[in-house]
Amino acid sequence: MTHDINGAPVARVFIGYDRREEVAVNVLTASFQAHASIPVQIGQVRLDQLRGVYTRERDPNQSTDFSFSRFLVPWLAGYQGWALFIDADMLCLGDIAELWALRDESMAVQVVKHQHECEEGLKFQGMPQTPYGRKNWSSVVLFNCERCTALTPEFVNTATGLELHQFRWLADREIGELPPEWNVLVGVQPIPAAAKVLHYTLGGPWFDDCLDMPESQRWLEAREAMNRPLVAPPSPFTSHASAPDPPVISRNG
């Protein structure tokens, strides 16, 4: 359930986890918190925590561990309230309060409706690049969980990839739209000045073969910001040592 604290909503975010992108998950988590003006609960969709629930065999066309397990987010949320799923290979530049304010109760999901036409081939780490309609729609999904009860573990384990990623489990009228700045495809489209989420869909600088990807410096700066050294408070002994000597008082004075 989505709670309010003193009138402010609590945003729930689930990040797809892949063991090869652990540093990306951590940087994305920190970037959400750094820009948020409302409380944010952030979890991960991890296969090692879904044993016995997620039983699907790995598909040769999937490029990450969370390619299909992302659709368990409504189940993880108890089919209550709202929850955001987001791929690991992203960087948040905006305030999630702005995204949370876009929730539309008349919709089951809300996504950025990309028209991303790619050619079949390879992307980061030699992973397959697979073209299909509505590609990347499922990389940022705002779920209205109580309207997504079709996404049972049984269905997620057995549905085809296209049934899931093309949202065939919904009527088209139930698929709402998010502004495009909430899922900007780096290396695929121009980067708008008002970008809220950068999506390194072709690979990000946490991979050695993607160090020269556009906007890499921005991600590297975000990682560096997580490692600021602690600034120790001044020592009381230092302040005493630097104090001037007390005045000499004459006994005859």
- Residue (of 73, 54, 47) closest to 138 by Cα position: 73
pLDDT of residue 122: 43
pLDDT tens-place string over residues 172-185:
999 999 999 999 99
**pLDDT greater at residue 169 or residue 242:** 169
Give percent above pLDDT 70 in the chain. 82
What is the distance, to the nearest Å, from the Cα of residue 102 to the centroid of all Cα atoms in its chain? 17
b/e map 64-99, b = 16+ CB within 10 Å: bbbbbbbbbbbbbbebebbbbbbbbbbbbbbbbbeb
Q: How confident is the model at residue 9 (pLDDT cuts 50, 70, 90)?
A: confident
pLDDT of residue 1: 47
Give the single-character DSSP code of 189.
S
The letter for the amino acid at 12 is R
- Residue (of 26, 33, 62, 14) closest to 206 by Cα position: 26
The letter for the amino acid at 234 is P
What is the distance, to the nearest Å, from the Cα of residue 222 to the centroid of all Cα atoms in its chain? 14
Report whether 199 contacts 183 (CB < 8 A). Answer: yes
Is the per-residue pLDDT at 116 higher than 70? no
Q: How confident is the model at residue 6 (pLDDT cuts 50, 70, 90)?
A: low
C-alpha 161/C-alpha 59 separation (Å) is: 9
